Amino acid sequence: MIKKTRQHISQNESLLFEISSPGKMGYQLPELDVPMMDPAEALGGNTRAEIEDFPEVSEVELIRHFTRLSTWNYAIDLGLYPLGSCTMKYNPRINEVVARTEGLAWAHPYQPESLSQGAMEIMAELERCLAVITGMDAVTLQPAAGAHGEMTGTLLIRALLTSRGNPRKKILVPDSAHGTNPATAAMTGYEVENIKSNEQGMLDVEALARAMNEDVAALMVTNPNTVGVFEQYIHKIAAIMHDKGALVYMDGANMNALVGIARPGDFGIDVMHLNLHKTFSTPHGGGGPGAGAVAIKKELEPFLPGPRLRRENNQWHWDYDRPRSIGRVRSFYGNFGVLVRALAYIMAHGGEGLKNATMDAVLNANYIRKLIEPYYKIAYQAPSMHECVFSDDYQSKKGVRTGDIAKRLIDYGFHPYTVSFPLIVHGALMIEPTETEPKQELDLFADAMISIAREIEENPAIVLNAPHLTRTPRVDEVTAARKPILRWKKPAESQVRAKPGDLRPDVPAREPALPASVR
């Protein structure tokens, strides 16, 4: 068995503003080839002398600063990142290279269509691929992220229903849904009604039928849902909605379980979004950028945000003549650079490869489930798709909660799973390994989880106080919220600089508690 972790030196680093000193610089602009303009004269005195307290550092200080900070991060490039619902798969580097191709990276959105054909072709091909994958009729690439796609989809639903005479009042949202679903429904002027899940973690079809009436515009369903279970009765669910003239929206966050296996367009979905930064491998980058393509059935097509791509005389054109459109949801055409990466991923896999990736994702999740199920309580007995959800019921008897287990997992060299979501599972541990993890990494993860379960039996304190091996121990989030400090400010007095000989390394305050596999 290899040891996953050991301690090493980690460098401290001050904030940019603290390492800054007057007159330092890390840039060189070319000499101006036109007469210099006096800002005060050109701008009528509406000028500033300087940006107060802005950093002044040299190039080497800059690279060390950001490199040192980077070493304080966990990342997919370092190991398994099993955040449920987030699909943290490997981000192929070829995607980064092609997105930086000069003619694409420097394409201006307003340059003439005749000089944008390559960019437009990429978007058209991606739209086509995503329509094929989802089994839908058309796709818009304009939304910038998943929640933005949800907003677009909900507005499309409202527009279609309005054209039929009544936008209706409510959107039904399962109690297991992502928080973005109800937040989006509210932003688009709908009331939210929560629908209970049943004891199998699935949408309660009876409850849905009871809640259904002609005030309901749509259901927002996630499939597989947030407990990683496929909604078996999706056809019936869709029929209940459609019978009363409502639509079915699908949150595509979990599409990594379905590509090549099942198509939402074939099981009654009218509109859905895809998170290209999940299923299609574009990097999360510490929280974004994403892209939230929306796929729809034909009847919603007239309402899509403009402009739309149109092929005419062997050329791509942007069609702005969209009188029934819901309007733009962002400027220009979408997060094009992210779209390039997603298409590169699709091309690398091909149709068969995409299906294989899905199967491996489901294989990996079921493998982890099987290995740790004896030690953690599976939330629902129903078969798992691409992720498995446990509760901390066994461990909470010892006073250890899912958040504590997550922190202890860090000592074993892993990023934690998604903590305390979905809300319907008491103390949820939501684990999504993705297809790109090797078996060895999965085995190490399972071992870590089992080892932690044992530690909780023998010595829960070690878990309750975790992490022990990180450069930063537990962070006080309560004080951060109570007394928010959201920016650096120049200290009132100049700080006392350390004298030579004062700079001895920190000595650990206590003996670090090493994971069993390291000892």
- Which residues from 411-450 bind other proteins, rule CB under 8 A? 415-416, 419, 421, 439
Where in 101-140 is the site for other proteins (CB under 8 A)? Answer: 101-112, 115-119, 121-122, 129, 132-133, 135
> Alpha-carbon torsion 100, 101, 104, 107, what sign?
positive
Coil, helix or strand at residue 249? strand
348 lies in the binding site for other proteins (CB under 8 A): yes
Q: Which is nearer to other proteins, 112 or 397 (CB)?
A: 112
Residue 195 CB-half CA count within 13 A: 27
Given the DSSP bridges, would you call strands 428-431 and 388-391 parallel, antiparallel or unpaired? antiparallel
461 lies in the binding site for other proteins (CB under 8 A): no
Contact predicate 158/270, CB 8 Å: no
Tell the smallest beta-carbon distance from residue 292 to other proteins (Å): 8
Q: Which is nearer to other proteins, 323 or 397 (CB)?
A: 323
37 lies in the binding site for other proteins (CB under 8 A): yes
Contact predicate 294/305, CB 8 Å: no
Where in 196-225 is the site for other proteins (CB under 8 A)? Answer: none
Where in 383-402 is the site for other proteins (CB under 8 A)? Answer: 383
Tell the smallest beta-carbon distance from residue 240 to other proteins (Å): 16
284 lies in the binding site for other proteins (CB under 8 A): yes
**Orientation angle between helical segments 180-187 and 146-163, nearest 10 degrees:** 40
351 lies in the binding site for other proteins (CB under 8 A): yes
Q: Which is nearer to other proteins, 212 or 386 (CB)?
A: 386
250 lies in the binding site for other proteins (CB under 8 A): no
Contact predicate 65/56, CB 8 Å: no
186 lies in the binding site for other proteins (CB under 8 A): yes
Cα–Cα distance between 221 and 218 in angstroms, integer? 9
226 lies in the binding site for other proteins (CB under 8 A): no
Question: Which listed residue (317, 353, 378, 514) binds other proteins by CB under 8 A?
Answer: 353
Tell the smallest beta-carbon distance from residue 50 to other proteins (Å): 6
Q: Which is nearer to other proteins, 133 or 272 (CB)?
A: 133
166 lies in the binding site for other proteins (CB under 8 A): no
Contact predicate 289/335, CB 8 Å: yes
Total chain residues near other proteins (CB under 8 A):
191
Give whole-number Cα distances, 398 to 184, 316, 373, 401, 453, in Å. 39, 64, 18, 9, 11
Q: Which is nearer to other proteins, 204 or 432 (CB)?
A: 432
Give whole-number Cα distances, 242 to 69, 111, 263, in Å. 52, 43, 18
Question: Which listed residue (3, 7, 11, 15) binds other proteins by CB under 8 A?
Answer: 15
- Among 202, 162, 158, CA closest to 184: 158
Tell the smallest beta-carbon distance from residue 350 to other proteins (Å): 4
Burial of 110 (0-12, 13-18, 19+ CB in 10 A): exposed
